[in-house]
Structure 1
Amino acid sequence: ISLSPPTICNSAVEAYIERVSRANRFEYGKVRVAGCVGWALCASITGVLFGIDPNITFWIASGFALVLGLLLWLSRPESSNSAQVIEALGANRQAFSLRTAAELLRMPRFWGFIVYVVGVASVYDVFDQQFANFFKSFFASPQRGTEVFGFVTTGGELLNALIMFCAPAIVNRIGAKNALLTAGMIMSVRILGSSFASSAVEVVILKMLHMFEIPFLLVGTFKYISSAFNPRLSATLFLIGFNLSKQLSGVVLSAWVGRMYDTVGFHQAYLILGCITLSFTLLSFVTLRGGNRLLPTAETQSPA
């Protein structure tokens, strides 16, 4: 499930949006707002539809996917003069190679980023996978819990959209590293808070924290990659350094965490996961770095 086609496609879309936004000189976070609003609307609708017939949701999603495919097929984007000039200068040569990959693997900064992704983001994803079931346990019936979860997600995603719109300016001010650390602290608070939650109100508040974390994580990740590495490799580094490493580690963690849920329960498992996330967030104060790019840019590369 962690490596399913929807997961891979979502990551490709995120990388594409970031690449296009940077090429056209507008902020990724402001474009991503549309995704947050769409998610908010869908969360409420699916929360109700799942109580009626889950198949309705999948038919609607398939229909919109066909509409999107048709729109993409009919679209005819205009060529950019600046893009043509860059192409003529050779700046759009193949960005990734085995040599580049080898250089990347020798960089301490790359492995420092992987430590954050695996120890913080991946652990948090595994925690969030079963949070809906934990959330529903605080309500009289699973159906009521699903409905409330959908409405809470809707409100949270609208808040997410607002924060996502402002996130680029905030991250530019505090720096990409501090944005990632802020996201890590929010994740840690949410996981640890869940381990002590005892009422529906508390889990609703903890669910809302997710909406503060996502903008800092996504915008901070792209800006960290662009500042610490060659920006032309941003899509590759996001797909491999962030998404692939997070999903692969999630496969291993999911089996272990699943056993904990069965043996010690949600609260104790969340306490352990929260301590792990907090520890790796504190470690990332040292392993994450800012500064100049470490891979050669197009201007500094020697001609072939």
Structure 2
Amino acid sequence: MKFSELAPRERHNFVYFLLFFFFYYFIMSAYFPFFPVWLADVNHLTKTETGIVFSSISLFAIIFQPVFGLMSDKLGLRKHLLWTITVLLILFAPFFIFVFSPLLQMNIIAGSLVGGIYLGIVFSSGSGAVEAYIERVSRANRFEYGKVRVAGCVGWALCASITGVLFSIDPNITFWIASGFALVLGLLLWLSRPESSNSAQVIEALGANRQAFSLRTAAELLRMPRFWGFIVYVVGVASVYDVFDQQFANFFKSFFASPQRGTEVFGFVTTGGELLNALIMFCAPAIVNRIGAKNALLTAGMIMSVRILGSSFASSAVEVVILKMLHMFEIPFLLVGTFKYISSAFNPRLSATLFLIGFNLSKQLSGVVLSAWVGRMYDTVGFHQAYLILGCITLSFTLLVRHPTRRQPSAADRRDAEPRLTPAPPSGMTGFTRQSASPRRDSPAHSADKAPRRR
């Protein structure tokens, strides 16, 4: 829906959460892109020790993400989780400077555990909770999620350049800026009224949101073949790509005469890529609606595979800059495609559970093993050989999930379809399940889909 067609309070919510995305991802950009550089240059960790830190973060993300997912669906439009994340982000600078860094230098295990708890809550699990919450708000207030998500790309881009310059001066300056912006997050959260939509108020008054959710309903997801097909894609493609990107900054700066110059250029390239990312993110909903969620996810998988494999053969700074810029195409298709698939193939009221457990948790679970293993590979065989292995993995899984289903829908299947809960997108998501239409009434998957409708 166009901005001019929104009600006044819906417009306010659009602006508030657009700014919330901007400042949240600004803060996240002060941590994530340069985190491996901070671990190596400031805390003097090896690549293997860096992998241990990332594994710890993934481990605690596994613990918190299921809780966050279930709580998000239970809370609906209430802001309890976002308040928790915001308060912890206000402590961002004190934690990094006075707690995390000293612990890492004293004991790598203790530092990894404490850092894993904090970062697992505010970013690894917190980002998924923020994404899922604002996506729910966008549906309740009739605006496109992708259009407010653009601001997150811009915030990330702006902070990347600032951090790239300030890192060689004093990285703590960026941490304090991030803590200051967390106060702005609190103000925006206090001002927002996501429940203001008339339709949302009616639904809440009728108790529809509360009745739709139960642990039994969430558990029924485990019986759906398309849910497990989606997990295969996330683990084999998205998770491997995340692990590849964890220490890419250290690989990138190795192509420059000095580490300081490499860090600065990395910041500028990240900024340029994220600004273009924002432009593509703005257009992504329309593109994904046209090509379908399946094709969007497969496109993201191919882009990820090209970037990883290309990095394994990169031999100059120009080549790694070009490969880094490919990131701007992958994120919009992956994020928007994921939400479109979740809302079309499953009960939309379980969107937070599906995103946090089916998407984020799956990535973190595989990341626990992959981060330490890949970090060890960097120390033993080097970046290029490790990237070749990772690229082959992502390409294989992308090709695996793109194959058409073996079974074609029958007339009975089409009559038994549930259009409200399982509409077929234009291109279908049949590559992720063995059935290309809604299951028959006597199948377990059909019972799972029907469960949320029972009174």
TM over 0.5: yes
What does the per-residue CA deviation read over 1:153-196, in whole Å, with 9 as the maximum and x for residues that have no partner? Answer: 11101100100000000000000010000000000000000000
Report SS of the residue matched to 2:332: helix
**What's the offset of the Cα at 1:95?**
3.7
**What's the offset of the Cα at 1:293?**
14
Query: Contact 2:300 / 2:333 at 8 angstroms: preserved in 1?
Result: yes
Query: Contact 2:150 / 2:279 at 8 angstroms: preserved in 1?
Result: yes
**What's the offset of the Cα at 1:251?**
1.1
Report SS of the residue matched to 1:3: helix
C-alpha separation between the residues in 2 aligned to 1:301 and 1:261? 51
**What's the offset of the Cα at 1:262?**
1.2
Report SS of the residue matched to 2:167: helix
What does the per-residue CA deviation read over 1:19-53, in whole Å, with 9 as the maximum and x for residues that have no partner? Answer: 11122222111111111111111110110010100
Instruction: Identify if the C-alpha distance between structure 1 residues 293 and 56 changes in structure 2 by more than 3 Å, giving closer, same or farther.
Output: farther
Deviation >3 Å, runs of 4+: 1-7, 74-78, 290-304
C-alpha separation between the residues in 2 aligned to 1:151 and 1:179? 28
**Residue ranges of structure 2 left out of the alignment (5+ in a row):** 1-120, 401-428, 446-455
* Count of residue correspondences: 297
**What's the offset of the Cα at 1:110?**
0.3
Query: Contact 2:125 / 2:356 at 8 angstroms: preserved in 1?
Result: no
Query: Contact 1:18 / 1:28 at 8 angstroms: preserved in 2?
Result: yes
**What's the offset of the Cα at 1:17?**
1.5
Question: Please, which moves more after superposition, 259-268 or 96-105?
Answer: 96-105
Query: Contact 1:37 / 1:157 at 8 angstroms: preserved in 2?
Result: yes
Report SS of the residue matched to 1:93: helix
Query: Contact 2:296 / 2:337 at 8 angstroms: preserved in 1?
Result: yes
Query: Contact 2:195 / 2:201 at 8 angstroms: preserved in 1?
Result: no
Task: Among all aligned residue pairs of Structure 1 and Structure 2, give the percentage whose two residues are the same amino acid.
Answer: 94
What does the per-residue CA deviation read over 1:42-85, in whole Å, with 9 as the maximum and x for residues that have no partner? Answer: 11011001010010010000011022213323545673221122
C-alpha separation between the residues in 1 aligned to 2:347 and 2:230? 15
C-alpha separation between the residues in 2 aligned to 1:292 and 1:167? 24
TM-score, reference length from structure 2 = 0.61
Taking only aligned residues, the RMSD between alpha carbons, in angstroms, comes to 3.6
Question: Please, which moves more after superposition, 157-166 or 86-95?
Answer: 86-95
**What's the offset of the Cα at 1:6?**
5.4
Query: Contact 2:243 / 2:370 at 8 angstroms: preserved in 1?
Result: yes
Instruction: Identify if the C-alpha distance between structure 1 residues 196 and 26 changes in structure 2 by more than 3 Å, giving closer, same or farther.
Output: same
Question: Please, which moves more after superposition, 116-125 or 96-105?
Answer: 96-105
What does the per-residue CA deviation read over 1:219-260, in whole Å, with 9 as the maximum and x for residues that have no partner? Answer: 000000011101111111001110111111111111111111
What does the per-residue CA deviation read over 1:180-219, in whole Å, with 9 as the maximum and x for residues that have no partner? Answer: 0000000000000000000000000000000100000000
C-alpha separation between the residues in 2 aligned to 1:64 and 1:273? 36
**What's the offset of the Cα at 1:89?**
3.3
Instruction: Identify if the C-alpha distance between structure 1 residues 245 and 94 changes in structure 2 by more than 3 Å, giving closer, same or farther.
Output: farther
**What's the offset of the Cα at 1:3?**
7.7
TM-score, reference length from structure 1 = 0.90
Query: Contact 1:230 / 1:295 at 8 angstroms: preserved in 2?
Result: no
Question: Please, which moves more after superposition, 182-191 or 226-235?
Answer: 226-235
Question: Please, which moves more after superposition, 78-87 or 51-60?
Answer: 78-87
Report SS of the residue matched to 2:212: coil
Select 2:386's aligned residue among 244, 269, 279. Answer: 269
Report SS of the residue matched to 2:442: coil
Query: Contact 1:2 / 1:247 at 8 angstroms: preserved in 2?
Result: no
Instruction: Identify if the C-alpha distance between structure 1 residues 302 and 134 changes in structure 2 by more than 3 Å, giving closer, same or farther.
Output: closer
Question: Please, which moves more after superposition, 16-25 or 118-127?
Answer: 16-25
Query: Contact 2:151 / 2:278 at 8 angstroms: preserved in 1?
Result: yes
Query: Contact 1:257 / 1:269 at 8 angstroms: preserved in 2?
Result: yes
Instruction: Identify if the C-alpha distance between structure 1 residues 302 and 178 changes in structure 2 by more than 3 Å, giving closer, same or farther.
Output: closer
**What's the offset of the Cα at 1:290?**
7.4
Question: Please, which moves more after superposition, 11-20 or 268-277?
Answer: 11-20
Query: Contact 1:230 / 1:296 at 8 angstroms: preserved in 2?
Result: no
Instruction: Identify if the C-alpha distance between structure 1 residues 244 and 266 changes in structure 2 by more than 3 Å, giving closer, same or farther.
Output: same
Instruction: Identify if the C-alpha distance between structure 1 residues 119 and 77 changes in structure 2 by more than 3 Å, giving closer, same or farther.
Output: closer
Instruction: Identify if the C-alpha distance between structure 1 residues 72 and 299 changes in structure 2 by more than 3 Å, giving closer, same or farther.
Output: farther
Report SS of the residue matched to 2:277: helix
C-alpha separation between the residues in 1 aligned to 2:291 and 2:148? 21
**Residue ranges of structure 1 left out of the alignment (5+ in a row):** none
